[in-house]
Amino acid sequence: MATQQDYGAPSSYSWSASGAGGAYILRVDAKSSTAPASAAWGTTLAYQLMSCTDGTLSVSPSSPQTPGTSIALTAGATCPATAEYRFVVHNPDASVTTLRDYGPASTSAWDTTGLAYGSYGLEVDVRDAGALTSYETKASSTFAVSAAACAKPTLTSDVPSPQGTGATITFTGATATCPTPLYKFWVQTPDKTWHVMRDYSSSPTFSWTASGVGGTYQVEVDVRDVTRPVSYDQYLYIPFVLTPCSGATLSTDKPSPQTAGATVVLTGGASCPRTPQYQFYMQTAAGWSVVQNYGASNMFTWHTTAGGHYRLEVDVRDAGATASYETYADLDFTVDAPCSSARLSASPAGTAGTGSTVVLSATSSGCPTPNYRFLVGHAGRSTVAQAYGPTSTFSWNTAGLAAGVYALEVDARNQGSGAGYEAYSVISSYTLAPCSSVRLTTDKTSPQPTGATVTLTGAGSCRGTPEYRFLVGGSVVQGYGPASTYGWSSAGLAAGTYALEVDVRDQGSPAGYEAWAKLSFTLAGCSAARLTTDKPSPQKAGTPVVVNATATCPGTPEYRFLVNGTVVQPYGMNNSMSWNTTGNAPGAYHLEVDVRNQGSTLGYEAWSAAVYTLTA
């Protein structure tokens, strides 16, 4: 902190705030005139000086300009007080020229007459009036004093468009008005991408080796004077077409197929504007490979060694072109090699249930593209089950075939072969086995009362998927299906012994049955019915009479009461009936009770009757 006014009687101080903008600390110390400085007391005040900011500078006309042009400079800034401006020029030789020293004017003119070509730095310094700093804010701009701009160029080629791919073409540009022109060359490829082929140079010519793909190109020349720091003064582009080879063909001197060891000559052709080059490819099971690199020969001699299916290709392009190809042609060719062996396997092996599906799988060796044919033999006769094809498996559906021993065969030959077979394999004995046994059980033991529901369960021993059929008394009550149980309702059936049967066979088997089991089951009815009354006959008409019944039943008995053949109390659990004789005429009455097992739908299983007389 610097002392601005030493101890004295004046209690005020005038501060000329001419320094740089920023934060300042103001301090005053006070003491008695006779006291030492160490006895003084003081206080401080923070104070902010604002300065000019955000200097700007614009020039007109814009850079570059030729010597003799008057350039108008216009400055601006944000200042808290009155701004003053100073304009300076930084010359190419590093010297500095002041155009106008600090003053209120925000504009200045720069006369470029007689100035050398080069890059000049224009600068404006700005500060508040009264400030002593060199500047508070400034702005600058680079300005080129240069020769005149180049005029729109011309562009010519030494050969006309179109040309074949791979050609070398020389382009020549020309321009005027600029004393020292520079030339830059571009090429736009058919995919619309521009590429710089040669940067700015004093040479107006460019030699283009047109090795790209066929199509329409644009060739451009940009021009500017050497003194002018611009991307370009003027430019011009012209189209140029490169024509590729087209219409490739490929042929062989021998037809397909050929046996391994044959020599096959491939011949390629194409329509090319220049000198064609040919490359030959071959595709095997291992993939594509080049068998003859690009060259002038359009022929390739192929010495076949292994059987198989081949894809042959010729690629063609103009000499000098770098595309992988411009046109191509291909064809398929088969070289036959006989299958040397075959092998057949079955799943399941050896034996399967009737009606099941047996998967036959074949393999072979010696032939690269085998085809297989599957045959099934039985009872001295063999038939083709699946004709020749590339599939090495056959799903043999035995549904409808009888149980027994079958012969299975696979024949193998190379794809395209005319032989009946080249190798074969036989499974001479394959058994289709029926269900061997079945067991029948019931959920209730015999006997059971009439009307009972009995669940029959079959359990078969089968290699395949068993299906069951149930019979009662020789009649089918549930046809063949996957359910191994049957709920037999005996409602409506008379008491007696019934033959229960289950038949089993493999699903898909045409047999009526492959195994069966039977058992006898007895349905027992009510017996020994007896009818009694609580009052002996005769009784006077109008006397109430209770009729009671008993019976022997294996199940739960139910009773029905009749008077003179008319039901007066239907079947129910009550074994007594109150007979109201009021209003009945004197005479003999026929009393009857019918008994049956609960659940039975029979009219009755046992009955008892008595004659009862009513008197006047």
| DSSP secondary structure, 498-533, as one string | EEEEEEEEETT--SS-SEEEEEEEEEE--EEEEEEE
Domain ranges of the chain: 1-49, 53-145, 154-243, 246-329, 341-433, 437-524, 528-614
d(CA 129, CA 515): 125
Q: Is 580 helix (H, G, I), strand (E, B) or coil?
A: coil
341-433 domain in CATH 1.10.10.10?
Answer: no
Asked if 175 contacts 131 with a C-beta cutoff of 8 angstroms, the reply is no
What is the fold, at CATH topology level, of the domain defined by 154-243?
Answer: Immunoglobulin-like (2.60.40)
Q: Which CATH number does 246-329 carry? A: 2.60.40
The pLDDT, as a whole number, for residue 183 is: 98
E strands along 79-136, which residues?
Answer: 83-90, 96-103, 107-111, 118-128
Helical H runs in 456-499? none
Residues of the chain with pLDDT under 70: 1, 4-6, 11, 13, 15-26, 28-29, 42, 44-48, 416-418
Helical H runs in 415-531? none
Q: Is 39 helix (H, G, I), strand (E, B) or coil?
A: helix
Topology agreement, domain 53-145 and domain 246-329: yes
Dihedrals phi, psi of 521, to nearest 5 degrees: -140, 130
C-alpha distances in Å from residue 223, one per residue of 135, 182, 442: 41, 6, 109
Helix, strand, coil fractions of the chain, as percent rounded to 5: 0, 60, 40
The pLDDT, as a whole number, for residue 169 is: 97
Of how many residues is the chain composed? 616
Asked if 127 contacts 52 with a C-beta cutoff of 8 angstroms, the reply is yes
Asked if 48 contacts 18 with a C-beta cutoff of 8 angstroms, the reply is no
Write down the CATH superfamily of domain 437-524: Immunoglobulins (2.60.40.10)
The pLDDT, as a whole number, for residue 47 is: 53
User: Which contacts (CB < 8 Å, 24+ apart) does range 575-578 have?
Assistant: 575/548, 575/549, 575/550, 576/546, 576/547, 576/548, 576/549, 577/546, 577/547, 578/544, 578/545, 578/546, 578/547
Write down the CATH superfamily of domain 528-614: Immunoglobulins (2.60.40.10)
Residue 28 tokens, joined = 């005053």
Beta-carbon contacts of 321 under 8 Å, excluding residues fewer than 6 positions away, are 165, 166, 211, 212, 244, 277
Q: Is 204 helix (H, G, I), strand (E, B) or coil?
A: coil
Asked if 120 contacts 91 with a C-beta cutoff of 8 angstroms, the reply is yes
Q: Which CATH number does 53-145 carry? A: 2.60.40.2550
* Global model pTM greater than 0.85: no
The pLDDT, as a whole number, for residue 158 is: 97
The pLDDT, as a whole number, for residue 41 is: 73
The pLDDT, as a whole number, for residue 318 is: 96
C-alpha distances in Å from residue 295, one per residue of 191, 248, 291: 28, 15, 12
Beta strands 234-243 and 163-164, pairing class: parallel
Q: Which of 524, 516, 479, 528 is nearest to 498 (CA)?
A: 524
